[in-house]
Amino acid sequence: MTPEPSPRLLRGAIALTVAGLLVTLALLVRETPWTLTAFMFLGQPLLALGFVLFAWQVIRDLRRTGLF
């Protein structure tokens, strides 16, 4: 029995979250005006979009199973 592959939406959410965390890590390592600007304009939106995609996938799974 092979495990079911992860949904595309979930993989996208993980990728966006990792990209946002890398931008955040750059800010934590060295705080400069450029890294702060990158965090404000790239890091936060990437993290938020990753969260939204993850929540969307959870809602889809709950509706598919009849729990929501």
Domain boundaries, the chain: 8-65
Cα 11 to Cα 48: distance, rounded to the nearest angstrom:
15
CB contact at 8 A, 16 and 53: yes
Cα 39 to Cα 52: distance, rounded to the nearest angstrom:
18
pLDDT at 3: 64
Per-residue pLDDT tens, the chain, 68 aa: give them.
666 777 899 999 999 999 999 999 999 999 999 999 999 999 999 999 999 999 999 999 999 999 87
pLDDT at 5: 74
Cα 18 to Cα 42: distance, rounded to the nearest angstrom:
12
CB contact at 8 A, 24 and 43: yes
